């Protein structure tokens, strides 16, 4: 089936299998930040933004995104907030194997973009409920996110 | 869903039912789809209802709250209308389904149409007297949610479309509490319980108790409810609540599986029901029992 979407700020037309998930469709066009993990909506390594909302690309049908905006980490590399999150993760030692990092970055980015005051530790942990990390753990990523949230709060 | 032959997108409820009826082969509606990707599609084609205008929550002038079937769980969680309805318990429970990215896409209608005995939102919706709207090409019907479930993964739908739910205004100030017991926060629940009490002039005018994951379908515990309805709140004792919880658990019919034994589930149904009843009564200013005290019929 043919679907039209805005992928990373560019209008695109994709030819996808009717039963394909969004994860497959994105990797087929070279978005390799979107990782294949559990393929059951548990691990979050395929987290992308669908109209700004974080979703697991493995349990979203490719056909579902017809007419919608999909953003992967590739589309946010020049975004100042994303760059700040990336730097904070590296500086705090939150990245070991890195497999979960793109998904975590997307989840944190989506949370930081929400309206209202920047998230506290509880809210950051809540935002990361869909991202499993099996080597670094969660203390360092949460510290990194708190660091960024603190600076966001200082700016507002 | 690798065996799927066709993915159709409906732009209205009427188109959705027509596209499903059109065939050829077996079709299913798809909304969030988070569950359908966990196995084979078991159908030839799906009809996507996400763009059919069925997502959204609104409060009517009469005070009813309408919830579109394709409303994502995260939207339910953050909804002001649901946050203000019966203490916001439905909104709170919606925020406990799956994880954050799953809630962006999984829908309230999908949660019900999957008809798992463990459907996360079923017990709380049952105690709020939710009514379902169902349609096909010829007819539209509304029915209580309690009549919607037939068995495990079975509903009354048979190819019809669930378009939405209504929470009646009468339940808007119900003292409602719900809980789910899980191994980990994201796991399918072992036991769920929900209670709802209306109290007017010191008398329990409505009593609702519902359980999940302990029967072939989400369960209303009518026998237990009947023990409470009509009672003076002042006459409700700790022993009475313990008895009611025991009766509710007795109405369940759980199975053993790799998550928990039937015996454990039934015992937890009793414990959770009693605690929730305590909370609901505490809301009314009654101190019938101490939530942590497992005395009485234990």
Please give the full DSSP string across chain A, using - where no structure is assigned: -EEEEEETTEEEEEE--TT-BHHHHHHHTT-TTS--S-SSSSS-TTEEEETTEEEEGGGSBGGGGTT-EEE-GGGGTT-HHHHHHHHHHHHTT--SS-SSHHHHHHHHHHHHHSSSSPP-HHHHHHHTTT---SSS-SHHHHHHHHHHHHHHHHH-
- Closest to A64 (Cβ–Cβ): which among B33, B41, B185? B33
CATH architecture group of domain A2-75? Roll (3.10)
Tens digit of each residue's pLDDT (9 = 90 or more) over A117-149: 899 999 999 999 999 999 999 999 999 999 999
Nearest CA among B5, B28, B51, B214 for reference residue B110? B28
Interchain contact, A63 vs B98, CB within 8 Å: no
Ramachandran angles phi, psi of A89, nearest 5°? -65, -45
Q: Give CATH 1.10.150.120 domain extents, chain A.
A: 79-155
CATH architecture group of domain B57-170? 2-Layer Sandwich (3.30)
Q: Which two tokens stand for residue A80?
A: 């100042």
**Any B CB within 8 A of A28 CB:** no
Tens digit of each residue's pLDDT (9 = 90 or more) over B153-205: 999 999 999 999 999 999 999 999 999 998 887 788 899 999 999 999 999 99
- The tokens 């050829």 sit on which residue? B24
Domain A79-155 matching CATH 1.20.1250.20: the answer reads no
Question: What is the percent of chain B with per-residue pLDDT over 90, rounded to a whole number?
Answer: 77
**Any B CB within 8 A of A36 CB:** no
**Any A CB within 8 A of B30 CB:** yes
Query: Using CA atoms, how far apart are residues A15 and A36, in angstroms rounded to an integer?
Result: 20
Chain B CA closest to residue A54:
B101
Give the predicted TM-score (pTM) of the model: 0.93
Q: A24, A37, A41: which to substitute to probe chain B, counting the most B Cβ within 10 Å?
A: A41
Q: Give CATH 3.10.20.30 domain extents, chain A.
A: 2-75
Extents of the domains making up chain B = 6-48, 57-170, 174-283
Ramachandran angles phi, psi of B291, nearest 5°? -55, -35
> Which superfamily does B174-283 belong to?
CO dehydrogenase flavoprotein, C-terminal domain (3.30.390.50)
């Amino acid at each position: 089936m043919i679907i039209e979407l805005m992928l990373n700020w560019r209008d695109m037309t994709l030819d996808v299998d009717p039963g394909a998930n969004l994860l497959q469709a994105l990797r087929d066009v070279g978005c390799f930040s979107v990782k294949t993990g559990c393929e059951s909506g548990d691990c979050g390594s395929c987290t992308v933004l669908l109209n700004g909302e974080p979703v697991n690309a493995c349990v979203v049908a490719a056909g579902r995104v017809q007419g919608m905006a999909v953003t992967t980490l590739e589309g946010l590399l020049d975004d100042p907030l994303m760059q700040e999150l990336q730097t904070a993760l590296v500086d705090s030692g939150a990245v070991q194997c890195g497999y979960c990092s793109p998904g975590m970055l997307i989840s944190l980015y989506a949370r930081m973009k929400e309206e209202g005051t920047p998230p506290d530790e509880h809210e950051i942990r809540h935002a990361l409920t869909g991202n499993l990390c099996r080597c670094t753990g969660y203390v360092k990523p949460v510290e990194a996110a708190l660091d960024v949230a603190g600076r966001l709060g200082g700016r507002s | 869903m690798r065996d799927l032959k066709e993915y159709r997108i409906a732009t209205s409820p009427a188109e959705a039912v027509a596209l499903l009826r059109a065939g050829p082969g077996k079709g299913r509606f798809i909304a969030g789809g988070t569950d359908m990707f966990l196995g084979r599609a078991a159908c030839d084609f799906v009809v996507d209802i996400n763009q059919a205008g069925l997502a959204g929550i609104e409060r009517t002038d009469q005070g009813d709250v309408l919830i579109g079937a394709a409303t994502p769980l995260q939207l339910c969680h953050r909804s002001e209308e649901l946050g203000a309805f019966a203490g916001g318990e439905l909104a709170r429970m919606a925020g406990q389904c799956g994880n954050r990215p799953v809630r962006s896409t999984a829908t309230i209608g999908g949660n019900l149409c999957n008809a798992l005995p463990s459907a996360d939102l079923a017990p709380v919706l049952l105690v709020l007297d939710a009514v379902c709207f169902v349609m096909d090409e010829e007819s539209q019907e509304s029915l209580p949610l309690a009549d919607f479930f037939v068995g495990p993964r079975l509903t009354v739908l048979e190819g019809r479309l669930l378009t939405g739910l209504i929470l009646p205004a009468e339940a808007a100030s119900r003292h409602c509490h719900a809980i789910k017991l899980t191994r980990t926060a994201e796991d399918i629940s072992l036991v769920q319980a929900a209670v709802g009490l209306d109290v007017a002039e010191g008398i329990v005018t409505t009593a609702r108790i519902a359980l999940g994951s302990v029967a072939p379908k989400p369960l209303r515990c009518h026998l237990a409810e009947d023990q409470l309805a009509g009672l003076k709140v002042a006459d409700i004792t700790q022993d009475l609540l313990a008895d009611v919880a025991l009766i509710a658990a007795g109405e369940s019919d759980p199975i053993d599986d790799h998550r928990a034994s039937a015996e454990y589930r039934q015992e937890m149904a009793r414990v959770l029901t009693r605690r929730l009843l305590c909370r609901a009564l505490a809301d009314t200013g009654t101190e019938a029992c101490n939530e942590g005290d497992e005395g009485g019929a234990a």
